[in-house]
Amino acid sequence: MTGPGPRGRIEARFARLAAGGRAGFVPYVTAGYPTLEHTRALLAGLGEAGADVIELGIPFSDPMADGPTIQRSSQGALAQGTSVDDVFAVLAELRASSEVPVVIFSYLNPIHSRGIEAFVRQAVDAGADGILPIDLPLGADPALEAALEACPLDLVRLVAPTTYPERVREITRASQGFVYYIARTGVTGARRELRDELALEAGAVRAVSPCPVAVGFGVSTPGHARAVGAAADAVVVGSALVDRLDDGGVAGALALARELHAALDGVRSG
Protein backbone atom coordinates (compact mmCIF):
# COMPACT_ATOMS: atom_id res chain seq x y z
CA MET A 1 0.00 0.00 0.00
CA THR A 2 1.46 3.32 -1.07
CA GLY A 3 -0.71 5.31 1.29
CA PRO A 4 -3.23 8.10 0.86
CA GLY A 5 -2.73 11.05 -1.43
CA PRO A 6 -1.11 14.22 -0.15
CA ARG A 7 -4.42 15.98 0.44
CA GLY A 8 -5.17 13.46 3.19
CA ARG A 9 -8.90 14.16 3.47
CA ILE A 10 -9.97 10.52 3.06
CA GLU A 11 -7.41 9.22 5.53
CA ALA A 12 -8.28 11.94 8.04
CA ARG A 13 -12.01 11.27 7.74
CA PHE A 14 -11.65 7.53 8.32
CA ALA A 15 -9.27 8.15 11.21
CA ARG A 16 -11.88 10.37 12.82
CA LEU A 17 -14.57 7.76 12.25
CA ALA A 18 -12.36 5.03 13.73
CA ALA A 19 -11.63 7.16 16.78
CA GLY A 20 -15.34 7.52 17.33
CA GLY A 21 -16.08 3.87 16.57
CA ARG A 22 -18.57 4.91 13.92
CA ALA A 23 -19.10 3.66 10.36
CA GLY A 24 -18.96 6.30 7.63
CA PHE A 25 -21.72 7.26 5.23
CA VAL A 26 -20.72 7.38 1.54
CA PRO A 27 -23.43 8.57 -0.87
CA TYR A 28 -23.07 8.24 -4.64
CA VAL A 29 -24.15 10.97 -7.06
CA THR A 30 -24.36 10.69 -10.86
CA ALA A 31 -23.02 14.04 -12.05
CA GLY A 32 -25.45 15.89 -14.28
CA TYR A 33 -28.56 13.92 -13.34
CA PRO A 34 -31.18 15.06 -13.86
CA THR A 35 -29.33 18.35 -14.42
CA LEU A 36 -26.08 19.92 -13.28
CA GLU A 37 -28.07 22.28 -11.05
CA HIS A 38 -29.47 19.27 -9.21
CA THR A 39 -25.93 17.93 -8.81
CA ARG A 40 -24.71 21.24 -7.38
CA ALA A 41 -27.55 21.27 -4.87
CA LEU A 42 -27.02 17.62 -3.93
CA LEU A 43 -23.29 18.01 -3.40
CA ALA A 44 -23.79 21.10 -1.28
CA GLY A 45 -26.47 19.41 0.82
CA LEU A 46 -24.87 16.00 1.29
CA GLY A 47 -22.06 17.34 3.45
CA GLU A 48 -24.62 18.95 5.73
CA ALA A 49 -26.64 15.69 5.68
CA GLY A 50 -23.69 13.81 7.15
CA ALA A 51 -21.76 12.44 4.17
CA ASP A 52 -18.27 11.38 5.20
CA VAL A 53 -17.08 10.76 1.64
CA ILE A 54 -18.94 11.45 -1.61
CA GLU A 55 -18.63 9.28 -4.71
CA LEU A 56 -19.11 11.50 -7.77
CA GLY A 57 -19.93 9.45 -10.85
CA ILE A 58 -18.91 10.47 -14.35
CA PRO A 59 -21.84 9.47 -16.60
CA PHE A 60 -20.91 6.86 -19.18
CA SER A 61 -22.86 5.39 -22.08
CA ASP A 62 -22.18 1.73 -21.22
CA PRO A 63 -22.11 1.39 -17.42
CA MET A 64 -21.58 -2.37 -17.24
CA ALA A 65 -21.47 -2.69 -13.46
CA ASP A 66 -24.59 -0.62 -12.91
CA GLY A 67 -28.20 -1.66 -12.77
CA PRO A 68 -31.25 0.08 -14.26
CA THR A 69 -31.27 3.04 -11.85
CA ILE A 70 -27.70 4.18 -12.40
CA GLN A 71 -27.93 3.33 -16.10
CA ARG A 72 -30.95 5.60 -16.32
CA SER A 73 -29.21 8.38 -14.46
CA SER A 74 -26.11 8.12 -16.66
CA GLN A 75 -28.17 8.19 -19.82
CA GLY A 76 -30.16 11.15 -18.52
CA ALA A 77 -27.00 13.07 -17.65
CA LEU A 78 -25.49 12.40 -21.07
CA ALA A 79 -28.73 13.49 -22.73
CA GLN A 80 -28.31 16.80 -20.92
CA GLY A 81 -24.84 17.08 -22.47
CA THR A 82 -22.90 16.48 -19.24
CA SER A 83 -19.16 16.29 -19.96
CA VAL A 84 -16.08 15.40 -17.93
CA ASP A 85 -15.33 19.13 -17.79
CA ASP A 86 -18.77 19.72 -16.26
CA VAL A 87 -18.13 17.08 -13.59
CA PHE A 88 -14.88 18.71 -12.55
CA ALA A 89 -16.46 22.17 -12.64
CA VAL A 90 -19.19 21.23 -10.14
CA LEU A 91 -16.57 19.55 -7.96
CA ALA A 92 -14.47 22.73 -7.96
CA GLU A 93 -17.54 24.70 -6.89
CA LEU A 94 -18.11 22.29 -4.00
CA ARG A 95 -14.48 22.43 -2.97
CA ALA A 96 -14.63 26.21 -2.65
CA SER A 97 -16.92 25.80 0.37
CA SER A 98 -16.55 22.21 1.62
CA GLU A 99 -13.81 19.84 2.79
CA VAL A 100 -15.86 16.64 2.40
CA PRO A 101 -13.66 14.07 0.61
CA VAL A 102 -14.72 13.23 -2.95
CA VAL A 103 -13.87 10.12 -4.96
CA ILE A 104 -14.31 10.21 -8.74
CA PHE A 105 -16.24 7.12 -9.84
CA SER A 106 -15.51 6.39 -13.51
CA TYR A 107 -15.15 3.76 -16.17
CA LEU A 108 -11.85 3.70 -18.04
CA ASN A 109 -13.13 5.13 -21.33
CA PRO A 110 -13.50 8.73 -20.09
CA ILE A 111 -10.05 8.49 -18.50
CA HIS A 112 -8.38 7.13 -21.62
CA SER A 113 -10.16 9.54 -23.95
CA ARG A 114 -8.75 12.50 -22.03
CA GLY A 115 -5.38 10.93 -21.31
CA ILE A 116 -4.35 9.75 -17.86
CA GLU A 117 -2.08 12.69 -17.05
CA ALA A 118 -4.59 15.30 -18.17
CA PHE A 119 -7.46 13.54 -16.38
CA VAL A 120 -5.58 13.26 -13.10
CA ARG A 121 -4.31 16.84 -13.28
CA GLN A 122 -7.82 18.17 -13.86
CA ALA A 123 -9.27 16.00 -11.09
CA VAL A 124 -6.65 17.16 -8.61
CA ASP A 125 -7.06 20.80 -9.60
CA ALA A 126 -10.82 20.49 -9.10
CA GLY A 127 -10.31 19.12 -5.59
CA ALA A 128 -10.81 15.36 -5.96
CA ASP A 129 -9.28 13.11 -3.33
CA GLY A 130 -9.59 9.69 -4.92
CA ILE A 131 -10.46 7.77 -8.04
CA LEU A 132 -12.35 4.50 -8.40
CA PRO A 133 -11.97 3.03 -11.91
CA ILE A 134 -14.76 0.46 -11.97
CA ASP A 135 -13.40 -1.65 -14.82
CA LEU A 136 -9.72 -1.79 -13.81
CA PRO A 137 -9.07 -5.11 -12.02
CA LEU A 138 -5.77 -5.49 -10.23
CA GLY A 139 -3.09 -6.53 -12.73
CA ALA A 140 -5.16 -5.75 -15.82
CA ASP A 141 -3.06 -2.77 -16.94
CA PRO A 142 0.14 -2.51 -14.88
CA ALA A 143 1.31 0.71 -16.55
CA LEU A 144 -1.99 2.51 -15.93
CA GLU A 145 -2.22 1.16 -12.40
CA ALA A 146 1.30 2.32 -11.62
CA ALA A 147 0.47 5.79 -12.92
CA LEU A 148 -2.66 5.98 -10.78
CA GLU A 149 -0.91 4.61 -7.70
CA ALA A 150 1.77 7.28 -8.02
CA CYS A 151 -0.61 10.19 -8.64
CA PRO A 152 -1.96 12.47 -5.88
CA LEU A 153 -5.36 10.73 -5.93
CA ASP A 154 -6.11 7.71 -3.74
CA LEU A 155 -6.68 4.67 -5.97
CA VAL A 156 -9.72 2.89 -4.52
CA ARG A 157 -10.08 -0.74 -5.56
CA LEU A 158 -12.97 -3.19 -5.61
CA VAL A 159 -13.30 -6.59 -3.95
CA ALA A 160 -16.16 -8.94 -4.89
CA PRO A 161 -17.82 -11.78 -2.94
CA THR A 162 -16.27 -14.18 -5.46
CA THR A 163 -12.69 -12.90 -4.96
CA TYR A 164 -10.33 -15.59 -3.67
CA PRO A 165 -8.78 -14.91 -0.23
CA GLU A 166 -5.21 -14.52 -1.50
CA ARG A 167 -6.34 -12.07 -4.17
CA VAL A 168 -8.32 -10.17 -1.52
CA ARG A 169 -5.02 -9.66 0.30
CA GLU A 170 -3.33 -8.49 -2.89
CA ILE A 171 -6.12 -6.05 -3.75
CA THR A 172 -6.36 -4.56 -0.29
CA ARG A 173 -2.59 -4.10 -0.10
CA ALA A 174 -2.72 -2.25 -3.43
CA SER A 175 -5.64 -0.02 -2.39
CA GLN A 176 -5.43 3.54 -1.18
CA GLY A 177 -7.95 5.53 0.86
CA PHE A 178 -10.36 2.64 1.31
CA VAL A 179 -11.44 -0.64 -0.26
CA TYR A 180 -14.90 -0.95 -1.82
CA TYR A 181 -16.44 -4.34 -1.01
CA ILE A 182 -19.26 -5.28 -3.37
CA ALA A 183 -22.11 -6.60 -1.28
CA ARG A 184 -23.34 -9.07 -3.90
CA THR A 185 -22.66 -10.36 -7.39
CA GLY A 186 -24.37 -8.67 -10.32
CA VAL A 187 -25.03 -4.99 -10.87
CA THR A 188 -25.92 -2.06 -8.65
CA GLY A 189 -29.49 -1.43 -7.56
CA ALA A 190 -31.68 -1.04 -4.51
CA ARG A 191 -32.66 -4.29 -2.80
CA ARG A 192 -35.18 -5.23 -0.13
CA GLU A 193 -32.86 -7.59 1.73
CA LEU A 194 -29.13 -8.05 2.21
CA ARG A 195 -27.43 -11.43 2.09
CA ASP A 196 -27.01 -13.17 5.44
CA GLU A 197 -23.33 -13.83 4.71
CA LEU A 198 -22.47 -10.18 4.11
CA ALA A 199 -21.34 -9.33 7.64
CA LEU A 200 -18.98 -12.30 7.81
CA GLU A 201 -17.56 -11.51 4.36
CA ALA A 202 -16.99 -7.86 5.18
CA GLY A 203 -15.31 -8.86 8.43
CA ALA A 204 -12.98 -11.23 6.59
CA VAL A 205 -11.92 -8.46 4.21
CA ARG A 206 -11.37 -6.03 7.08
CA ALA A 207 -9.22 -8.61 8.87
CA VAL A 208 -6.61 -8.54 6.08
CA SER A 209 -7.00 -5.01 4.74
CA PRO A 210 -4.63 -2.20 5.71
CA CYS A 211 -7.30 0.20 4.41
CA PRO A 212 -10.80 0.85 5.73
CA VAL A 213 -13.50 -1.22 4.01
CA ALA A 214 -16.66 0.36 2.59
CA VAL A 215 -19.58 -1.85 1.55
CA GLY A 216 -22.01 -1.01 -1.24
CA PHE A 217 -24.27 -2.46 -4.00
CA GLY A 218 -27.84 -2.93 -2.83
CA VAL A 219 -27.67 -0.99 0.46
CA SER A 220 -30.98 0.84 0.28
CA THR A 221 -32.62 1.54 3.65
CA PRO A 222 -31.69 2.85 7.09
CA GLY A 223 -32.01 -0.73 8.35
CA HIS A 224 -29.52 -1.90 5.74
CA ALA A 225 -27.18 0.91 6.75
CA ARG A 226 -27.28 -0.13 10.40
CA ALA A 227 -26.62 -3.78 9.57
CA VAL A 228 -23.73 -3.01 7.21
CA GLY A 229 -22.32 -0.31 9.47
CA ALA A 230 -21.88 -2.83 12.26
CA ALA A 231 -19.59 -4.92 10.05
CA ALA A 232 -17.80 -2.35 7.88
CA ASP A 233 -15.92 0.92 8.11
CA ALA A 234 -18.38 2.68 5.79
CA VAL A 235 -21.68 2.20 3.98
CA VAL A 236 -22.11 3.19 0.31
CA VAL A 237 -25.57 4.09 -1.01
CA GLY A 238 -26.25 5.01 -4.63
CA SER A 239 -29.33 3.67 -6.41
CA ALA A 240 -31.68 4.31 -3.48
CA LEU A 241 -30.65 7.97 -3.45
CA VAL A 242 -31.12 8.28 -7.22
CA ASP A 243 -34.56 6.69 -6.92
CA ARG A 244 -35.48 9.15 -4.17
CA LEU A 245 -34.15 12.00 -6.30
CA ASP A 246 -36.56 10.91 -9.04
CA ASP A 247 -39.48 10.70 -6.63
CA GLY A 248 -38.82 13.62 -4.30
CA GLY A 249 -36.26 15.87 -5.94
CA VAL A 250 -33.16 17.12 -4.17
CA ALA A 251 -35.06 17.65 -0.93
CA GLY A 252 -36.23 14.04 -0.96
CA ALA A 253 -32.76 12.67 -1.68
CA LEU A 254 -31.24 14.75 1.10
CA ALA A 255 -33.95 13.63 3.50
CA LEU A 256 -33.04 10.00 2.78
CA ALA A 257 -29.36 10.84 3.22
CA ARG A 258 -30.08 12.25 6.66
CA GLU A 259 -32.05 9.11 7.55
CA LEU A 260 -29.21 6.87 6.42
CA HIS A 261 -26.65 8.88 8.35
CA ALA A 262 -28.83 8.92 11.47
CA ALA A 263 -29.24 5.14 11.23
CA LEU A 264 -25.50 4.82 11.87
CA ASP A 265 -25.72 6.71 15.17
CA GLY A 266 -24.82 4.38 18.00
CA VAL A 267 -23.64 1.66 15.63
CA ARG A 268 -20.03 0.88 16.47
CA SER A 269 -18.22 -0.22 13.35
CA GLY A 270 -16.75 -3.71 13.52
6 pLDDT more than 90: no
**Interacting residues of 179 by C-beta distance below 8 A, sequence separation 6+:** 156, 157, 158, 159, 171, 172, 205, 209, 211, 212, 213, 214
Residues that are catalytic? 55, 66
pLDDT category at 25 given cuts 50, 70, 90 is very high
Quick one: pLDDT band at residue 184, thresholds 50, 70, 90? low
- Res 62: pLDDT: 82
Burial class, 40, CB count within 10 angstroms (exposed 0-12 / middle 13-18 / buried 19+): middle
The per-residue pLDDT for range 115-129, each reduced to its tens digit, is 999 999 999 999 999
Supply the angle between the helices 222-229 and 198-208 in degrees, to the nearest 10.
40
pLDDT at 251 over 90: yes
pTM of the model: 0.92
What gap in Å lies between CA 102 and CA 210, rounded to an integer? 20
